Structure formats: C-alpha cells, structure tokens
C-alpha cells in the first residue's frame, strides 16, 4: 500500500534560517508529488507539485522541492524563512492517472520573528 | 471565482446519529473527493465522485456514503456515528478536462465532533 512519511513533526526556526522538510513515499509505480500548506485558520493550499521533467520544482513564496527517485523522496526547501511561513506543511502523492491522494501526517513549522 | 465551499463549518452530533456534510466544488470542476483529517494527522481519502458515481474509495466502512448531484455538488453521509468519527472532513475538487486534472483544491472543511 502507498504511504507517505514526514519525519519532522514540529520544526521551530528563526527568521532568515534555511528550511528543509523531509518527505519519503512508498509506491512502486509512477507518482505525482505535491506539497500543500495550511496557514492558521485557512484551508489547504497547493504549494508546489511535480509531475515529470526537471526534478527540481519551484513553487510559490520561494519554496522549492527536489524529487529524488532513487530515494523515494520529495523534500521541501526554502533558503530563508519568514514569520509568515508559519503553517503546517503536508507532503502528498497520487498514483499517476488515479486522482487519489495519500498525505503525510504533516509538519508544523513555527518561525520566530 | 468561487473556491470550494463546505457546510456546515462546525457541528456536534451524538453517538449513533447520522450526519450529512455538503460541498460545492470550485467553479468549473466536475470531480469531488472527500477526505477525513483526524487531529494531528494528514487527510485520509474517503471516496471520489465523478459523473454522479463513486469512482474510487478508500478504506472506510460502508457507514460512509456519498452522493454527487448533476450540478457537481456533493454530500457525505455518515451513519451510526462513533466517537472516532470526530474529525475535520475536507472536500476537494478538480476538473478532469484540465491540464492539471490531478491537482485537487480543498475547501475549509467541516469540523465534526461526536459526543
């Protein structure tokens, strides 16, 4: 069965620090990969996605993620976080051609001003 | 452009009761999926509706059922509520004819508390 693991449950950073959130998935076939973000009091929003091509994808607000197929990983990065990045981040996968998403348990990011 | 809207936003039910949650997809979207997000966990797929039929289903019991209407809106019904059904229920929509057909857009959810 497919599964998604996010190893960091809670991350606390100071502004301007660099961010990397880990995501590993388990699935034998071709997948699409996503990061969603949930800001306090708001709904889940798409941050970025990978379908094919360049394994380094760029999303909104300066976020990027790298797909490493050999490691089944899709880690999220940002060189310099801001207080406004405080949110919960979810990694998700869906099997190509099946619009059924599997989510990780989420990472709560708290950026101190 | 209206996003995904869900109602009610919060509700409290008693064990054994039944609940109906409603979802209107994003304008132009024709596929609706439902997810359950328990506290401290990521969303879990319940089922997906397209052309008024259940197209895919996750590992949820038959107490969870749904419906999609001709205008693409959808309902999630849960019968014989258990305490463990307390969660945030999320509706997500997508459009099969779009280039990003397998990207889903979420509503704000319906918080269900079972007491």
A4-39 pLDDT per residue, tens: 999 889 999 999 999 999 999 998 788 899 999 999
Q: What is the pLDDT of residue A97?
A: 66
Contact flag A92-B42 (C-beta cutoff 8 Å): yes
| Close Cβ partners of A39 (under 8 Å, ≥ 6 residues apart) | A45, A86, A87
B8-52 pLDDT per residue, tens: 999 999 999 999 999 999 998 999 999 999 988 999 999 999 999
Tokens matching residue A98: 């099946």
| Close Cβ partners of B83 (under 8 Å, ≥ 6 residues apart) | B15, B114, B115
**Does the CA dihedral B22-A86-A8-A6 come out positive or negative?**
positive
Q: Give the HSE-up count for residue A25: Cα atoms under 13 Å, Cβ half-sphere.
A: 26
A41-83 pLDDT per residue, tens: 888 999 999 988 999 999 999 999 999 999 999 999 999 999 9
Residue numbers in B near A100 (CB within 8 A):
33, 45, 48, 56, 58
Tell me how far apart the alpha carbons of residues A48 and A58 are, in angstroms, rounded to a whole number: 7
Min Cα separation B100/chain A (Å): 10
Residues 29-88 of A with CB under 8 A from B: 32, 34, 36, 42-46, 49
Nearest to B87 by CA among B38, B44, B43, B42: B38
């Amino acid at each position: 069965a497919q599964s998604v693991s996010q190893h960091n449950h809670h991350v606390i950073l100071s502004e301007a620090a660099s961010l990397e959130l880990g995501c590993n998935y388990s699935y034998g076939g071709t997948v699409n990969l996503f990061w969603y973000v949930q800001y306090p009091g708001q709904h889940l929003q798409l941050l970025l996605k990978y379908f094919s091509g360049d394994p380094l994808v760029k999303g909104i607000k300066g976020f990027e993620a790298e797909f490493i197929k050999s490691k089944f990983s899709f880690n999220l990065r940002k060189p310099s976080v801001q207080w406004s990045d405080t949110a919960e981040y979810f990694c998700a996968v869906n099997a190509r051609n099946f619009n059924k998403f599997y989510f990780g348990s989420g990472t709560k990011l708290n950026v101190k001003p | 452009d209206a996003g995904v809207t869900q109602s009610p936003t919060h509700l409290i039910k008693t064990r054994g009761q039944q609940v109906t949650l409603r979802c209107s997809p994003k304008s132009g979207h024709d596929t609706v999926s439902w997810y359950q997000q328990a506290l401290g966990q990521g969303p879990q797929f319940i089922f997906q509706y397209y052309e008024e039929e259940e197209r895919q289903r996750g590992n949820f019991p038959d107490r969870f059922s749904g419906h999609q209407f001709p205008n693409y809106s959808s309902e999630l019904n849960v019968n014989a509520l258990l305490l463990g059904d307390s969660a945030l229920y999320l509706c997500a929509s997508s459009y099969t004819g779009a280039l990003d057909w397998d990207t889903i857009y979420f509503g704000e959810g319906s918080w269900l508390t079972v007491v």
